[in-house]
Structures are given as C-alpha cells and as structure tokens.
Structure 1
Amino acid sequence: MVKIGLGWRWNVAGIMQGVRILEVATWVAAPSAGAVMADWGAEVIKVENPEGGDAIRGFTSIEGFQGGDIWWQLLNRGKKSIALNLSTEEGQAVLHRLAAASDVLLTNLQIGLLDRFRLDYQTLHEVNPRLVYGLLTGYGYDGPDRHLPGYDYSAYWARSGIMEHVSEPGRPPRPARPGIGDNSTSMVIAAGLSAALFHRERTGEGQEVHFSLYHSAVWAIGMDVQAALSFGAEIPHTNPDRARNPLWNAYKTSDDLWFQMVMLQSDRFWPRFCEAIESPALQDDPRFDSHANREQHSEALVAIIKEVVATRPREEWEQRFKDFNLVGGRVQRVIETVSDPQALANGFFTETDRGDGSALPLVSSPVKFKQNPTSVQGPAPELGQNTEEVLMDVGAYEWEELERLKEQGVIPW
C-alpha cells in the first residue's frame, strides 16, 4: 500500500484492471455501479452532456442539509469525464468509435433517447460484437411502463411494496432514505456486468444485460413477494407490541436508545435469555416455556421484556448479549456508524485527495478482494476534464480532428 496525496492506494493491480467502461448515465444507480467498478480497477469513462453534465452535479441539498459536492464525489470518484454532444451525428460517431475500443457500455438513458442517439444494443453490437451492454431502466425493458422515468423512490421503494410494508397501517407511507434503492441496485449491476465479462472471456461473445430498479426491489423484498406469489396472501405487518416472537423485536433501553433482538430459533436461546435478563422464573413459566406458548402469549411477554430492558443502558445490553452468546445488536444512528470501531476496523470508509491538497472522506465499496484490494482511484472529475485525453488515447483522434469537433459543437473548447 502506498501513500498518494492524502489517501492510501494499494500498489497492486485492481481486479478489473484493463477493463474499459463507457458510462452514459446520470443520477445515482448506474453511476454508483461505475464507481464500484472504478474502485475495482476498471477505467471508467463518464460521457456527459456539455451543457451542465450529469444532473447529480447540481444536487447539493437533501432535506435542507447542504452537502456541496459530496454526493457527486461519492458516486463518481475515480472516473474520467468527457463532454460530448450526443444530439449530433458527429457526437454519436465519436461515441461509436470509443465503444469500438471499450469492453462495457453502461447506460440508464430512457429507451426513446437510446434510439434517438443510436445507443441501442443492436447498433453498438455491430460496432463492437464483443461489447457488454448494460441497460438500467426504472420498470423493465418490456411492458406498458417501459418508457416511464424511474427513480428509486418510485420504481424501487414505492412500486415494489417495500414502502407500504415498512409503514404503520393507517399512517402515511414511510419515505425512503436517499439512494437506498439505487445503491443496492448498483451492486446488482456490477455483478451482472462482471458475469457477462466472464462469459465473454470464455466465448468471445458480447452480451446485452438488462437491469431495473423495480425488479431489484422485488428481489430485495423477495420473502414477502414469494409468500404473495405462492399463497395469494401477505405476511402481516409487524406490530412491536405484539411481536409473534418477542425475542425477535426491538426494545428501548434506559438511555432512550434501542436494542434489536434477533433470535429466530427462540427455544434454543430461551434459557440463556432468561439468565441474561436475570428473570430465571420466566424459563419454566407455562405461558412462555415453548416457542408456541410464547407466541400465544406474546403481548404479555413483550411487556415484561420492555420493562426489563428499560432498566439498563444499551451498552450494557450489548455486553450481556455477548456474555450469554445471544443474538442482537444496537439500533444506531448514522452519525454513530461513521465512528463505529467495527466499521473502521473493516475499512468501511476511506479517503482520497480532492486534487487541491484537501482530504475527501468517502464510503468505500462493499466488496473486499484480499489479493487485489480495492481502492478509490481519485476524486470525481470536473465536467469534460478528460475529453481531449480520452479522444486521442482511446479514440485515436488527431489534434486537427478535435479542432473540427470543437468547431461543430460536438465537444467544448
């Protein structure tokens, strides 16, 4: 590992070194996948509209929280940026020339724009038969809603049933956290493109790979969906006051924090649990001496556990669960997560140099290759920062050709 600026970078080849990815994508999910693969060592070339670039560049505030460029940096670190006017035939020709020298093209443009900009799979397959083509849509490539724009709040969180199922009955639906569906889907994209590249290495054949926010969410909530699919019924909403398994529930501690118990096999843990809460009489109480009986009298048992848990702070309950080999964990705030010793010990966070000598802290991508460790390759690029470099090195353009493209309004001056 070597020190580069204010960040550390492993001086071994990334697992995807030598893979070139053209990212014609905006906002969060697809760019997040590009960021992950850049961490893995791929060369990711982000293709942006010269007029403002990716919309996430201007997304600086969430719920009044002023974040500046932190979300742009999170999703686009380690990439190159070219500014290219794809509304022109000349711009489309430039992209085709770059695609001919690339391994992957990843896009989330709406289907109508793909046809208009000649970015459909068939066109690019003719340009480069070995190209892996990844397309992310909101709701899927086929069907009545194929043309709809989709963000994770609508296509992932709301449409899938997650939003309704994590909300309290009779209350307004619970909103999602920013990017929770997008960043989850990004790992699906990275996995799918990696599998397609593996297939290409064995067969020499390119591949068209489709992803959607909607399907990714249905997979995420798959246990609920499988119940509905198999039996035409839904798993009931969880009521914490009447949890069917009181040992699989969250309880408030004496310091006004929360502790989540997760003991699905409650008979296995029941004797030790009674010891841990210093209530040995409960163990043989006929209301609670089996899983079935605890389920039948769950409301009474939840009330008892609530009262007991409220006598100690969260930290003490964590320690007691460790001492008695029980399963549970603290309910943390995000501000606690960023200083959590367990997260720090496992490299959940990293930093790089912004390019001006100041440190840029970042969430690291969640796959750890032990022989080829991942690392952030640098900060996110300025709009069009690498246009001339990429067109000359990858597209084999001469300087005179670049001048002509500038005159035609294809790339900026």
Structure 2
Amino acid sequence: MLPLEGIKVIDFTTWVFAPAASAILGDWGADVIKIEDPTTGDPQRAIISVAGWDVPEVNFTWELYNRNKRGMAIDLRIKEGRDILYRLIEDADVFVSNLQSNALKKLFVDYDTLSKINPRLIYAHGTGYGNKGPEASRAGYDHAAFWARGGIMAKLGEPDSIPPKGLGAFGDSTGSIALAAGIVLALFGRGKSGTGQEVNVSLFGTALWCNSLTIAGAELMEEVAERESRKETRNPLYNSYECKNDKWLMVVCLQSDRYWSGFCKVLGLESLENDPRFENIFKRSENAKELIKILDKSFIKFDREELGRLFDENGVLWTPVQTPKEAANDPQAIANRFVVEVEHPSHGSYKSISSPVQFNKTPFAIRNIAPELGQHTEEILLEIGYTWDDITAFKEAKAII
C-alpha cells in the first residue's frame, strides 16, 4: 500500500510549480484528479511549442508533471461546473492550485469558500511572492520570482558577465517539493486536530531558502554578495577544471589541507606540496589566481575518467560535470531508479525522472501516464453519484466536454 493511498487530491493547477507538487502526491499513492478548462486546458500542454522547440513524439513536460493523475474538463465559470467541483470537495482531502488569489476568488474556489464546504480540507496554494504584502496577487513565474527575484541570478556567472538565464522549471521543481511536504504535514496535523488549514509555498520564499547561505552572509559580509570567478576562487580545491575532450571535473575539497598532499600527487605536482605560496589553506587562498593557472595547465592533460579514478585512489573528493544527457544515463541514477523507463501506449519507451523521496517497501512507479483533456470526466462523475442524465445535462450546459 502506497503511503498516500486513500487520499483524494483535487488539482486545479497550471504550468509546472503546483502540478509538479500534485504529481509527487500521485507518486506517493494519492488519487489526484486534475481539473482543466474544457476550452483551453492547462497551458502547460503546449509549453514545448511555446518555448520554440521542435515538438517530440512524447510531450515530456506534460507527462513528467501530470503522471499518476486522472483528468476532468470542467468549466468553473458557470454554476453547473462549480457545483461539480463542490461535490468533489465534499470528501476530498486536498485542494491544490497555483492560480492567483484574485482568480480563485472570482471563480469562487478560494480558501474561505471551499473550507466551508469541507472544514477538513487541506487547501494548498502555490504563489509567486507569498499570500501577504503588496504583491500577493502578482503573477510570478519561475524565472522571475525564483531565479531573478531570489538573488540567485545576480550571484552566478563570472564577475563581468551578463547574469545567466535560469534553467527551465528549476524553481518550480524545487518549490514543488516544499509544497508537497507542506501538504503531507498538514494532513498529519489534521489527524491530530480534526480540521484542515491553508498551506502556502511561494517561489520567492523558496528561492530565499535555497539561497539562504548567500543572503544571510551578504547581510554581514559584503564579499559574500559578490560574484566569484573560478579563476580567483578562494579555495582552488573547491573548483571546476577542464580535462581533455571538453570534459569538466569538479573538485570538492572543503578541508583542503586534508587533501592537499594526495591532490598534488595525482596531478604530478609534488613540488607544490611544500611550496611556501601554497603550503596551507590560507596561502592557497592568498595566491589562488596563480595556483589555478598552474592547475588549469595540469588538468587539461588528463582524461576525466582516468583522473577521477586516480583521485578516488588517493581519497580526493571529485565529481564529473555532466551534461543533462550524461546525467540521464548515469549508472548511479539508473541503479537507484532516479531515472526510469516508461512505456507509453502510443509512443513506446522513454526516460522519465522519479520524484526524489524513495520508500523501500513501496517503491516509486508510474501507474498512469498523464491524462488527455477530460479523459476521466464521465468516470469520476459517475463515481461521485451523478447519473448519465446528469452528464448529458452538464454537456448541454457546456459545463463539461
């Protein structure tokens, strides 16, 4: 039995942030029912073409964030559509959305309305900038609220370079973990109190937490806020280096004195071990630019995998800097089922990514591929007590498709 089996989640979400959270709940066994507009659907269905990419056979973004869900198409702008939702809410455990607060109120699906129908309901809201303050209703996408506003974009890259554009859905995916965890914690709390509550997770707040070490340090030390070049980083043994064939390697020796001897031995730089310029962590920091120039010339002579093997033999901590494709085919990722093969009924086998929490007795599985628009509408309406005559009437009223 999966951990959330028996938990009913009503998913009124769009794009990635909140859909990814409910996908995690689905991975954990919840019955997730995704509500979409009958006319437009979730705009995330078309995100690949919006991004300007060539459309592949498998709509991988849609499948990734909407697996293990059933789908309904309901028009919540009309009374009949809202009545259907309200009946779903009567015995639901969770309602999750990332629509703006004013849009939720306009559709009469805000917290005050739904909690009156079901006081035990956990109402989870993913926002851009939080549910209080002058920008509570402001739209906030990943690149804006998380990457740019959260102080991450300004910190990355070489000091004189343009701030780099963020990775797609990086903040959304991070925020989704927090939102899913908040929902589960609220369910746990409901088991004690008997009542539900509202859970709010924002992209901005998530970014501040992810970037908390830098932000907290910047308040006390100005240099923490500044960009740091890899050519002048304070600890040359905590840095990236290029090897042969355009392959990069990251050395991660925070306690660099502990690793210095083995590091020099592997690179054939034993003469540097007791060099007064580099003999301890303070000297290496003081002369970092000079040392990194020496190391750059040394690393480029090595094959990355061979150098990594030598580092392993000498206890030096390192990791390859992998491309996304390399990461997807990493034997360690496959062994742990971080990356899994999915059989799509129309498009065959493709790789997908597991949600990050694993359970030894109830392993992760993609039980259902992402739904087509309104695929399970009739099935679910019958489950909650409506008749075929009711369904016909809903279609005539254009409440469903």
Please give the range of the TM-score, normalised by the shorter of the 2 chains: over 0.9
Deviation at 1:358, TM superposition (A): 2.4
Deviation at 1:233, TM superposition (A): 6.5
Tell me the residue number matched to 1:186. 176
**In structure 2, the residue corresponding to 1:163 is in which secondary structure?**
coil
Tell me the residue number matched to 1:141. 131
Deviation at 1:274, TM superposition (A): 1.6
TM-superposition CA deviations, 1:51-74 (whole Å, max 9, x none): 021001122233534335121111
Tell me the residue number matched to 1:57. 45
- CA change 1:47–1:348 in 2 (3 A) is same
Q: Distance in 1 between matches of 2:188 and 2:359?
A: 17
Q: Is the 8 A contact 2:215 2:225 kept in 1?
A: no
Structure 1 gaps, min length 5: 1-12
- CA change 1:63–1:276 in 2 (3 A) is farther
**In structure 2, the residue corresponding to 1:198 is in which secondary structure?**
helix
Tell me the residue number matched to 2:284. 294
Pick from 28, 41, 45: which aligns with 2:33?
45
One-letter amino acid matched to 2:366: V
TM-score, normalisation: structure 1: 0.93
Pick from 211, 225, 235: which aligns with 1:221?
211
Q: Is the 8 A contact 2:155 2:225 kept in 1?
A: no
Tell me the residue number matched to 1:370. 360
- CA change 1:64–1:353 in 2 (3 A) is closer
Q: Which is worse superposed, 101-110 or 331-340?
A: 331-340
Q: Distance in 2 between matches of 1:234 and 1:247?
A: 19
Say whether 1:391 aligns with 2:391. Answer: no
Q: Is the 8 A contact 1:353 1:378 kept in 2?
A: no
Deviation at 1:357, TM superposition (A): 7.4
Deviation at 1:411, TM superposition (A): 1.0
Q: Is the 8 A contact 1:354 1:378 kept in 2?
A: no
Q: Is the 8 A contact 1:36 1:190 kept in 2?
A: yes
Tell me the residue number matched to 2:400. 411
Q: What is the correspondence of 1:340-359 to structure 2 with a 5 Å cutoff?
A: 340-356=330-346, 358-359=348-349
Give aligned pairs, total: 399
Tell me the residue number matched to 2:76. 86
Quick one: percent identity of the two aligned structures?
37
Tell me the residue number matched to 2:370. 380
Q: Is the 8 A contact 1:160 1:218 kept in 2?
A: yes
TM-superposition CA deviations, 1:87-140 (whole Å, max 9, x none): 012211211110111100000111111111111111111111111010011111
RMSD over equivalenced CA pairs, Å? 1.5
Q: Distance in 1 between matches of 2:370 and 2:363?
A: 20
**In structure 1, the residue corresponding to 2:153 is in which secondary structure?**
helix
Deviation at 1:377, TM superposition (A): 1.3
Q: What is the correspondence of 1:10-409 to structure 2 with a 5 Å cutoff?
A: 13-61=1-49, 62-68=51-57, 69-230=59-220, 234-356=224-346, 358-393=348-383, 395-409=384-398
Q: Distance in 1 between matches of 2:152 and 2:394?
A: 48
**In structure 1, the residue corresponding to 2:245 is in which secondary structure?**
coil
One-letter amino acid matched to 1:183: S
One-letter amino acid matched to 1:347: R
Q: Is the 8 A contact 2:334 2:340 kept in 1?
A: no
One-letter amino acid matched to 2:128: G
Task: Using CA pairs under 8 Å that are at least 6 residues apart, name the structure with larger relative contact order, 1 or 2.
Answer: 1
**In structure 1, the residue corresponding to 2:225 is in which secondary structure?**
coil
TM-score, normalisation: structure 2: 0.96
Q: Is the 8 A contact 1:78 1:377 kept in 2?
A: yes
Structure 2 gaps, min length 5: none
Q: Which is worse superposed, 163-172 or 184-193?
A: 163-172
